[in-house]
Amino acid sequence: METARPKELDLAIRELSSGGVVAFPTETVYGLGADASNPAAIAQIFAIKGRPPDHPLIVHISGADQLSRWSHQVPDAAYVLAEQFWPGPLTLILPDSKAPPEVTGGQSSVGVRAPSHPVAQALLQGFGGGIAAPSANRFGRISPTRASHVRDELGDRVRIILEGGECKVGLESTILSLAGSTPCLLRPGAISRSQLEETLNLEIHGAEKAPGLRASGLLESHYAPRTALRLIPSDKISSTAATAGPRTVMMCLRDIPIPSSIDRIIMPPNPVDYGVRLYATLRELDQGQYDLILAELPPTEESWAAVHDRLGRASHIPQSSGSKPPVRK
Ligand code: TXA
Ligand code: MG
């Protein structure tokens, strides 16, 4: 894995300590970070991203021993989950935030996550505090999974972009709210609902049960390319391809014959590798060379839930009317 050199890491730590902004790799996507205890530093993140100020940020921490620095009332379940899944792609929403309101969008809860990427861990340990970081993309657009994506999209606005190779997960973290009376899954990710339920020995509800919710990752249109994207059931691929205009590209899961007038990309047939490739592929197909991206709908098993969710949002079609929600096994 390509990785940040110690000199760049030192510069990044100094930048954070002096109230600046740094882009850094995590195992999910690249983040745009600032000192989570410094409101002026946080304001720069919102300005660079073009993000509405009431959308809360995740505070990145080195591990579970930091949890009590960010909430007055850390639920026991947070320690149980952190023990099992941290460092890793799981964000926990805690009640009774100690973070500045600029981080939480004025909500009383706070999101925290300990990322596993070695560069993120080195940065967190060197800096010593929490790093508030959304994904390092313009608001509503596709999250970056390589340092070059961040440079392409934000390069003139961010001085320090730490190199960390291609993100191993490629989709944003699972978000679980522990802020209400019952745990709620706010965003599916690499850590599945079943894994969380098994660890907590509890049923986990969907986002509709979460209190006072305002999560930008839950907007129906988010993580979206500029080019129109439509989701196509597997059994309609051939007929849809037959009537598609030129300047169309098809993202298939198998080697299906399609007319030579449209381009085709074969995506990995398993959810882990598909997740790693999805955003980089959408970025490649979104350079203006196509009018339409057609994506074959993946299988409905739970392991595909995060991919389904992001494809649904990228296609601008709400899950309820666009694709069938994945069936849990
Ligand atoms: O994998 C990830 O989570 C990446 C990396 C950089 O860690 N970060 C990320 O951040 O995806 P962002 O800001 O693009 O998405 C974070 C989501 C947003 O939908 C936000 O609204 C939600 O987390 N969130 C943060 N704090 C929250 C809170 N207190 N209550 C509800 N949702 C919250
Ligand atoms: Mg984001």
255 SS3 class: coil
Question: How many whole angstroms separate alpha carbon 29 and alpha carbon 49?
Answer: 15
Phi then psi for 233, rounded to 5 degrees? -60, 150
pTM (two decimals): 0.93
Nearest Cα residue to atom 32 of ligand 1: 215
Q: Is residue 322 part of a domain?
A: no
Residues within 5 A (CB) of ion ligand 2? 135
- Point out the ligand nearest to the CA of residue 108: 1
Question: How many whole angstroms separate alpha carbon 88 and alpha carbon 206?
Answer: 21
Q: Is residue 1 part of a domain?
A: no
Around ligand 1, the residues with Cβ closer than 6 Å are: 26, 28-29, 31, 55-58, 91, 93, 104, 107, 109-111, 113, 115, 133-135, 172-173, 175, 186, 215-217
Report how far ligand 2's centroid is from the alpha carbon of 232 (Å).
25
Domain of 154 in residue numbering reads as 6-209
Q: Is residue 18 part of a domain?
A: yes
Q: What is the pLDDT of residues 257-294, one digit of tens each?
A: 888 889 999 999 999 999 999 999 999 999 999 999 99
Domain ends where: 175, 209, 243?
209
Pair of tokens at residue 227: 């080019």
Instruction: Give CA angle at 91 (90, 93), nearest 5°.
Output: 145
Q: Is residue 220 part of a domain?
A: no
Looking at the DSSP bridge assignments, the partners of residue 135 are 31
Nearest Cα residue to atom 7 of ligand 1: 31
Q: Is residue 327 part of a domain?
A: no
Give the single-character DSSP code of 173.
P
Q: Is residue 298 part of a domain?
A: yes
Pair of tokens at residue 34: 């600032």
Same domain? 68 vs 199 = yes
Mean pLDDT of the chain: 91
Q: Is residue 269 part of a domain?
A: yes
Q: Could you tell me the pLDDT band of residue 2, with boundaries at 50, 70 and 90? A: low
Same domain? 15 vs 161 = yes
Ligand 1 atom closest to residue 215's alpha carbon, by position in its atom list: 21
Q: What is the pLDDT of residues 119-171, one digit of tens each?
A: 999 999 999 999 999 999 999 889 999 999 999 999 899 999 999 999 999 99
Rounded to the nearest 5 percent, the helix, strand and coil shares of the chain are: 35, 15, 50
Question: How many whole angstroms separate alpha carbon 288 and alpha carbon 251?
Answer: 16
List the strands of the sheet with 160-161, edge to edge.
160-161, 22-24, 31-35, 131-132, 58-60, 110-113, 90-94, 174-177, 184-187
Q: Is residue 221 part of a domain?
A: no
Residue in 45, 61, 91 to alter for ligand 1 test, most ligand atoms within 8 A of Cβ: 91
Nearest Cα residue to atom 31 of ligand 1: 215
CB count, 10 Å around CB of 316? 15
Helix (H) or strand (E) holding 120, with range, is helix 118-127
Same domain? 277 vs 134 = no
Lowest-confidence segment of 95-109, 167-181, 234-248 by average pLDDT: 234-248
Question: How many whole angstroms separate alpha carbon 169 and alpha carbon 178?
Answer: 23
Instruction: Give CA angle at 59 (17, 307), nearest 5°.
Output: 130
Is 132:53 a contact under the CB 8 Å cutoff? no
Question: How many whole angstroms separate alpha carbon 249 and alpha carbon 283?
Answer: 13
Q: What is the pLDDT of residues 210-261, one digit of tens each?
A: 665 555 455 556 678 999 999 999 999 989 989 999 899 999 999 888 888 8
Same domain? 244 vs 190 = no
Domain ends where: 209, 238, 262?
209
Same domain? 199 vs 235 = no
Question: Token match 């340092």: residue?
Answer: 147
Q: How many domains does the chain have?
A: 2
